[in-house]
Structure 1
Amino acid sequence: MEPDAAWVPWDSQLASWSMEPPGVWIHGLPLDLVAPGLPVEYQYYPATEISSCCLQTSVPTSSTRGKLVDLDHAAAAAAATQNFDPIEKEAAQELEVDLQNMVLKIHVDPIHVFEKAAHDYKAGVDLMRLKIHRYPATIRALGELYTVPTTVAIGPYHHGRNHLKPAEKVKHVAAYHCIRESGRPVQEIYDAVVHAAGDARSLYDGGAVAGVGDDDFLPMMFYDACFLVQYMLTCTRAGLAQMDPALRSFFDANDNDVFRDIMQLENQLPWRVVEAVMRFRPVSVTEFVASLRGCLQDRKVNDSDEKPFALDEGYEPPHLLGLLRFYIVGRSHAKLPALPETDAISFSVSTIELAEIGVTLTPNRTTELIHMGIKEKGNLFAELSLAPLSLDDTRASLLVNMAALELCTTSSFHDAEDEESAVCSYLHLLGMIVDREEDVHELRRRRLLQGGGGLTNREALEFLTSLQGLRLGSRYVRTMEEIENYKLKRRTRTKVHAFVYRNMKTIVAAMSAIGAVAGIVGTLKSLKVVH
C-alpha cells in the first residue's frame, strides 16, 4: 500500500474485496464426502453373519448421486484416512464397496466408537481454555454492571447493541491507522485475520453465532482486533507517542470504560486473531502487560528483590482477559509443605476471631494474588497476608470477570493448580473477614484496602459479601487449614490470647483500679511517716 493512499475502512468496502473463504477443518470422515445428500442407515449384524458393527450407506441404483460411489471414490475416502489420528484411522480402515448393489460398507469395531467418544471429549476439555465463555449463573446474578459492556463490543455476544454502536466508527479509525502504520496492503492484513479466524467461530457459543454469516463475522474479527491493538499501543510509551491525536483523545476520555469493557468475559476476541494484526502493527506485549499487571493497586509495592518483568514463553493466552489474569495472579514456585490432618475445619472466620487468636491482617510485599496465607511471627502471633487492593468499580469488575473465567475453565478446583482458582480464593478471603462496615475500615487501617477514593465502606462490604457464592478455591481452603493448624498447635496460647482480647477493657480497668489503690496506699504511708 502506498504510504499516502487514503483508505476509509467502512463495511461497504469489504464487499468488493476478493478473497477465498477460510478453510474448514474436517475432523473425521464425513459421509457426505462419500455419498453427499444420501440417507444413512445404521444396522447391527448378528455375530453369525458378520463379526463387527457395520455402518451401511444404501444408494438407490436409480439415483444420479449414486454414481458418485465407485472404486475411485472409495479409494479416495480410504486415502483420506491417512490424515486421521490413530483412533479414527483404525476405526475407518476397513471399506467394502458392493458395485452390483451400490452399497458402501464401513466396518467398525464397536470399541473404537467408545474410544473416539472419549478422545473427542478430552479434546473438548482441552479446548475449554481457549473458548470465549458465557457467564455462569453465579456471576450473571451480580447484574449488568459486571457483565454488559458500556462503551465498546468486542466479539459477537454484544455486537449490535444500540448504546455500543458509536464505538463502531472508532473501530474503523483504529483499523485505518493499523493499516497505515503497518505499510502493508489492506488485502494482506485482512487475509491474515481471515486465516487466523478460520476456526474462531467454534470458540463462541453456537447459539450466539448461528445467525451470523461470514460476511459479518469476519469483518467483525478484523475491526475488533485492530481496535484492541490500538488500545494496547496506548499502554506503551512508543505507541502512545506515535498515536493519531484524534484516536488518542478517544482512549484518554474513555480509558476506564474501555478497559472495563475489554476485560469482560463475554467481550473477548481469540488471541490468535489479535496476534494476526500485531504481526503487521507490532505491540510490545511485555510492556503492555507490565503496565497493567499491577492495576489492582493505586500505590505499587516497592520490592528491591523483584526481577525485571518477562513474559512466560510457555503460556498461550486464550484472549486479552486470560492474558492479564495470568500475570495478575502470578506463579507460586515454592512447594508448600503438607499440613497435618484435622478432625474438623471451619471454612469461615471473622476479623474478630482472627484477632482473638493473635492473627493480624497484613498486605503482601507483592501484588500477585496467588501469594496468600498464614505466616507465624514468634510464639504468640501470626499474620494473614494478602495482596493489597484499591477497590473501585473498574477493579471490582475486573476481579469478577477473572473469577468468572476461573469458574468456566476449571471444572474442579481441587484437582487443579492453585493458580487456576487464585482469584476466587482471594475474593473469598476478603469476603470472609468482612461482616460489618467496621471490618472494611479495619482493612483500610491495615493497608489491605488502599486509597481513599473508589468504593465506600458500605459499597465495598456489599461487593465483597455478594461473592460468597463462588466455588471455594484451593488456596482459600489451604488458608483455612493453616488457621486451624495454628490454633491446634498453640491451643493454650491462643486461649490465653483470646481471653485477654475479649476482656481487655476489664483488665485495663482492673489494672487502673489496682494502680489507683496502690497510689492511695502509698500516699497514706507517706503521710503516716511524716506524722
Structure 2
Amino acid sequence: MNTSRAEATVELRPIQERVRSTANRLEAGLSQIDNKIHRIPPGLRGIGDRYIVPSVVALGPYHHGSPHLHQMEEIKHVAAYYFCKDSGRPVEEVYAKILSVAIQVRCFYDEDAVARFSDTEFADMMFLDGCFLLEYIGANDVLVPVLANTMVLSTGPCMLRDIMLLENQLPWLVLEVLMTFKHVDVSEFILGNIRALLRVKDRPGEVYVNGDYRAPHFLGLARLYLTGDTAHGEENQSRCGVMSILSAIQLAEMSVKLKDSDATMFADMIMNKNGCLYGELSLSPVFLNEYTACWLINMAAFETCTSTGYPSDGFVVSSYLSILAMLMDKEEDVHELRAQHIVQSYFSNQETLNFFKVIARHLRLGNRCFIILEAIEDYKQKRRVWIVVHRFLYHNWKNIVALISIVSVLVGVFKTLLSLKYH
C-alpha cells in the first residue's frame, strides 16, 4: 500500500512541474502582451490570406523567406546603405545599435518563428527591415531611383497594404533606435495616409503616447489615431440585455436617421433622441478599398490579441465594423449608408455588403457595440406607437401624397362648379 502511494507521488511530480512551468511561462508572456508582435488569431483566419499574407515585402520573421517576397530582399540592402549614408554614420555603428537590442525584441515574436534564426541572423533581419521601412516612410523626390521605382512607383499601393498587416510588424523599439540616427516623420506619414485613404477628419494632438499607452508597432499607431484613448467610453457600460439588430432601412422605418458624424474617432458612435419624433445614429465615416479594408481587419485582429481589460474592453474597431455590418442586410442598406456619406467605397453595393457580412462572422462584439444596440432597443421600446405610425407613413407616403393631390384637384373642381352655379 505504501509502495503504491510512493509510486503515485513520483508520477505526480512531472505533471506538477509541467503545469507550474507552463503557467509561469504563459503568465510571463501575458506581461509582454502590449509589446508582442502577434499573429492573426485562429478565429480570424477565415477571412482569407489576402488580409494576412504580405504581397511584396516581409517585415520580421513570420513571413521571412517566402519565395514570392524574395525580390525585395536585395532592395532592403540598398535601403539600409542609403539610410546609413543619409544619417552620416557608418553602417557598422547603426547595426551595432540594433544588435544591442536584438535579444530584447526577439522575445516579442512567437518562439517557433524565431527559433530558425541565430541571434546574428535575427539582428540582421531587424536592421535591414527597419531601415527599409523607414526609407519607405521617408520616401521623397530625392530618393535614389532604384528605391523610388521599387518602393513608390512599382509597388507603392501594395506596400501601404503590407506595412499594416498584423503579422508584418516590427517592434517600435527597432524603429526608435534607428531614428536616433536619422529622423523620419512616422506620425505625419500615418496621419497623412489615414486622412487620405480612410477620409477621416483631422485630429490634432500627439499620437505616439496616449495616457499610459504606448503603441508597440506601426499598426498600433494607426489604430490609436482612429480610436483615441484606450480608456475611451469607460463611463458607459453595457447592460447586455435584450437587443435589436436592425438594418439601415429598418432604422429609417423606425424614424431613426443616420448621420455622418463630426467625430474623428471610431469609438464615437452615438445614438440620440432627436426631439420627440426622431432618433439619430451618428457614426464616423469610412472610405473602403482593397487597402483600407485590409487595415481595418488587421486593427480588429490586433484588438482581439491585446484587449483583455474590462470594462473598457478595447474592441473599438471591431465594434465599429460590427455596427456597420449590422446596418447592412441588403444592397438598399448600403445605398442608404452611401447616401448619408457614412460609407464611401470604390466597391459596388454588393461587394461592400459581402465584405462586411464576411468579416462580421469573425469579429468580437465589443462593449461599444452593445451600448449602441441597447440604445436602439431603448428607443424602440419607448416609442412603440410612434414607430407604428411612422412605419405606415414611410411605406405609404407616395400614396398619401397622390391621394392628397387627388383630393386637392377634386376640391378645386368642386369650388369651380359651385362658382359656376351661383353665377
TM-score (norm 1): 0.71
One of 287, 312, 324 as aligned partner of 1:417: 312
Deviation per CA, 1:440-489: give whole Å up to 9, x if none.
Answer: 122111111236xx222221111111112211111111100111122233
CA distance in 1 between partners of 2:289 and 2:100 (Å)? 39
1:115 deviates by: 9.5
One of 283, 291, 294 as aligned partner of 2:192: 291
Deviation per CA, 1:296-329: give whole Å up to 9, x if none.
Answer: 434x537xxx645564364322111112111122
Residue 457 of structure 1 aligns with which residue?
349
Q: Which amino acid aligns with 1:315?
A: Y
Residue 262 of structure 1 aligns with which residue?
163
8 Å CA contact 2:248, 2:333 repeated in 1: yes
CA distance in 2 between partners of 1:115 and 1:136 (Å)? 25
Indicate whether 1:184 and 2:89 are aligned: yes
CA-atom RMSD in angstroms: 3.0
Indicate whether 1:128 and 2:33 are aligned: yes
Residue 244 of structure 1 aligns with which residue?
144
1:508 deviates by: 2.5
8 Å CA contact 2:209, 2:215 repeated in 1: no
Indicate whether 1:275 and 2:186 are aligned: no
Indicate whether 1:397 and 2:294 are aligned: yes
Residue 246 of structure 2 aligns with which residue?
349
1:121 deviates by: 4.7
Residue 388 of structure 2 aligns with which residue?
495
Deviation per CA, 1:253-289: give whole Å up to 9, x if none.
Answer: 1221101001101111111112121111222343333
Query: Closer, same or farther in 2 for the Cα pair 1:165/1:334, shift >3 Å?
Result: closer
Q: Name the SS of the counterpart of 1:463 in structure 2.
A: helix
Residue 529 of structure 1 aligns with which residue?
422
Which has more radius of gyration?
Answer: 1
1:154 deviates by: 0.6
Residue 406 of structure 1 aligns with which residue?
303
8 Å CA contact 1:175, 1:226 repeated in 2: yes
More helix by share: 2
Aligned residue runs from structure 1 range 125-274, under 5 A = 125-234=30-139, 240=140, 242-253=142-153, 254-274=155-175
Residue 4 of structure 2 aligns with which residue?
none
Indicate whether 1:427 and 2:328 are aligned: no
8 Å CA contact 2:38, 2:109 repeated in 1: yes
CA distance in 1 between partners of 2:238 and 2:400 (Å)? 36
Aligned residue runs from structure 1 range 77-88, under 5 A = none
Residue 484 of structure 1 aligns with which residue?
377
Indicate whether 1:374 and 2:271 are aligned: yes
One of 372, 391, 409 as aligned partner of 1:516: 409
Q: Name the SS of the counterpart of 1:466 in structure 2.
A: helix
* Number of aligned positions between the proteins: 412
8 Å CA contact 1:297, 1:450 repeated in 2: no
- Extract unaligned runs of 5+ from structure 1: 1-41, 46-53, 56-109, 235-239
Query: Closer, same or farther in 2 for the Cα pair 1:338/1:291, shift >3 Å?
Result: closer
Residue 201 of structure 2 aligns with which residue?
301
CA distance in 1 between partners of 2:127 and 2:331 (Å)? 47
Q: Name the SS of the counterpart of 2:344 in structure 1.
A: coil
Q: Which amino acid aligns with 2:375?
A: E
CA distance in 2 between partners of 1:229 and 1:371 (Å)? 32
1:408 deviates by: 1.5
Query: Closer, same or farther in 2 for the Cα pair 1:114/1:265, shift >3 Å?
Result: closer
1:222 deviates by: 0.9
Query: Closer, same or farther in 2 for the Cα pair 1:517/1:349, shift >3 Å?
Result: same
TM-score (norm 2): 0.87
Query: Closer, same or farther in 2 for the Cα pair 1:251/1:444, shift >3 Å?
Result: same
Q: Name the SS of the counterpart of 1:130 in structure 2.
A: coil
8 Å CA contact 1:152, 1:167 repeated in 2: yes
CA distance in 1 between partners of 2:350 and 2:187 (Å)? 37
8 Å CA contact 2:255, 2:390 repeated in 1: yes
Residue 437 of structure 1 aligns with which residue?
331
8 Å CA contact 1:371, 1:386 repeated in 2: yes
Deviation per CA, 1:395-451: give whole Å up to 9, x if none.
Answer: 011011111111122247xx2425x11110111111111122222122111111236
Residue 229 of structure 2 aligns with which residue?
331
